[in-house]
Amino acid sequence: MNRRQRSAASRTAVAALAAAVAVTVTVALAQTPPGTTGDARRSGYHDMGPALRAMQDDDSANPAMLWVRDGEALWNRRLGAAAKACADCHGSAASMAGVAARYPAFDAQLGRPVSLEERINLCRTDRQKAEALAGGSRELLALSAYVALQSRGRPIAPPDDERLRSYVAAGEALFKRRLGQLNLSCAQCHDDNGGRRLGGALIPQAHPTAYPIYRLEWQGLGSLKRRLRGCLVGVRAEPFADDAPEYVSLELFLMRRARGMTLEAPGVRP
């Protein structure tokens, strides 16, 4: 396919997807939560077939554990000008239990919220006197997967921190704002149509219960930020810059939206 055909095909695809979404949205009926009583929120885990749930459940079969193992090695490796390992300050990684369940958190020094990945990098630059790891790098994913694993089975418990309030509100506004050429908000897919199908694919409710996730589509481990970027491309919006504050705001809002749901990191998703 040459470039012109490609761009024509791409326009067709946008039109087709827009049409598909339009159909989905128009025939959308009132959502019936599973079980009907109580909490209608649902982790993407429960939307997967038994084969993929088994892949996540068995640590010797879950490919994300390849990264976790690397993360464990990194946790104990002395590096940087300070020649310190994570373990030198924090001791056993068990001390990280619950941390992934409450992040992003407000950093007083920076005067803004930081994600778990950014916190890991702040430790690297401030304490270890080492270079920050690139976003999406294997090492950063490995460390965040290892830290997140320590909170597996715990409920998501975002702090009631006054200083976070405006960021959470910004995240919620962003979640509800229409974006991109398809002019769709996160809420239109994941609140209004979560659990319904778009083409052959199920629209999840978008709860960040399992990050970082091993996504079969990626054939690798990826962060929530990568997932958000994928959604932005999906609605044909220009993704925010890598260091844009929008990502952490969205994450703050999503964690509150998922408050009390069980962390299952590192998860497997289609």
Active site residues: 231
Structural tokens at position 197: 């199908």
C-beta closer to other proteins: residue 107 or 246: 246
What's the rounded Cα separation, in Å, for the pair 183 and 155?
34
Dihedral (CA of 170, 175, 176, 181) sign: positive
Shortest Å distance, C-beta 189 to other proteins: 9
C-beta closer to other proteins: residue 52 or 97: 52
Shortest Å distance, C-beta 49 to other proteins: 6
Shortest Å distance, C-beta 215 to other proteins: 8
In the chain, which ranges are continuous DSSP H helix?
A: 3-26, 50-57, 65-75, 86-90, 99-102, 116-122, 138-149, 165-176, 186-190, 224-234, 245-257
C-beta closer to other proteins: residue 51 or 108: 51
Query: Are 180 and 236 in contact, with CB atoms under 8 Å apart?
Result: yes
C-beta closer to other proteins: residue 76 or 166: 76
CB atoms within 10 A of CB 9: 12
Residue type, 19: A
Instruction: For residue 144, give the nearest of 157, 153, 133, 154 by alpha carbon.
Output: 133
C-beta closer to other proteins: residue 138 or 154: 138
Query: 3-state DSSP call for residue 81?
Result: coil
Binding site for other proteins (CB under 8 A): 1, 9-10, 12-13, 15-17, 19-20, 23-24, 27, 48-52, 54-55, 59-61, 63, 65-66, 69-70, 73, 138, 142, 196-202, 216-220, 229-231, 233-234, 236, 239, 270
What's the rounded Cα separation, in Å, for the pair 13 and 135?
30
Phi, psi at residue 120, to the nearest 5°? -60, -45
Q: What angle do CA 115, 163, 211 make, to 5 degrees?
A: 20
Pairing of strands 220-222, 213-215: antiparallel
C-beta closer to other proteins: residue 27 or 108: 27
Shortest Å distance, C-beta 56 to other proteins: 12
Shortest Å distance, C-beta 216 to other proteins: 4
Phi, psi at residue 105, to the nearest 5°? -125, 160
Shortest Å distance, C-beta 218 to other proteins: 7
